[in-house]
Structure 1
């Protein structure tokens, strides 16, 4: 298996939601991979260890969502990642795809699956939230991880990116200086993204599915969550699997918010088997 490079997989496409940068490789069933909201997040930073493996079986596509990476900026008021995801499919001529989403990307995946059921065959989320009261996790205010994430936008620096990486992962080995510098470089190159995202602090979160949306999802769904996630407590995974009728939960010990990175080999096996051997569903 040859490793893919960032440059060889890079492309842009114009959509009604703006110009979207993305990485793509492989052929066959389209699999769209949506990154989280952390400062410096991109399709490549969230999924590059997965693309090389999964592209042997699928057409994998990892966009920078509007407001992140090399894609066009978008204000808090105009940010609509559900519309952007559908526009992205249309621009690439993709009728329907399996969707994989980490954190914010998982929230988008769930809402696209509910509101545009005919475009989504399979749902995979990692570290995604779920509406409803918190029972086993702290109930007041942002989690420890979200506080660090916000600080990364308010005080962008290599040091705050290092702190972000340390809290996102269970294993400190994943919080490398290289990753911290990469994420800071993305921020420094796109300061308007930082300003636009920070403008939403203290305001209602955008793009999240309602409980009714989630209960309506009929696509086969795999909910993956880290037992040691300090950004979104694994209780959210329990709520999702109890609400989505055709779902299963994979709870990984010694795993933080980045299951696809910390447990890349297992994640790749799970996703490949799930999409290949579970009949997809796309319809209203």
Structure 2
């Protein structure tokens, strides 16, 4: 059996022309297998560049980030900055999808590099940026990769939503302040934290403000859920609003705003899923409802002042 060694298919320039060559790699998760893949890509490209006598190694830029937002990829931004400063003549990358999953942003960057005279070789697509008629093909590929990413994102969200509808959903066993996991991964009460939760509810019902409760906890030297020495009003408000303390779980309280931003926002229009009696009770349902009523009353009183 004949073994064929794969090499990057790049046309080498005349001997007198030495190109400053860089490479760009990206993974979207921090899973161990992807981290290993990133290390392999970095090593692969550096070796390919250094062994070519007509190339000068510039850098291998590598990001661990989603391809949806170019501005959040520091290494990518550094590569563009170095290109503008004449440090790069050619960029190697495995695929156009590594450059980004947002068609508009990707094409904008490619246009910028083209105007700078910086070529890009996309290995999977076998396309050079500075080749004639490459623009059409790159536009098509960019649109395909964005659509692929959108479909994957939709399928993940759909799967999560279906799991919400299942009575055995794993989301009901997520830890929050006042609980911990037993050996089987089920929620059990963490006594010291649960005592703080109960105190917060009791003080609030007596008429204390969030600021006063925070002051009380801080003065007692009680550490916040995130390990801070001081409690914020927002943290206390979230505890007072968490139905889990009454033994219930409300799922899909937040949703992803859109594919491009990936930001979570309060769910005001889509279905929510309430699972009752699914974990140990720290606050009785009657007391929890009392607090919610009191919160609404205070909110209403505050709005009447304006």
- Structure-1-length-normalised TM-score: 0.29
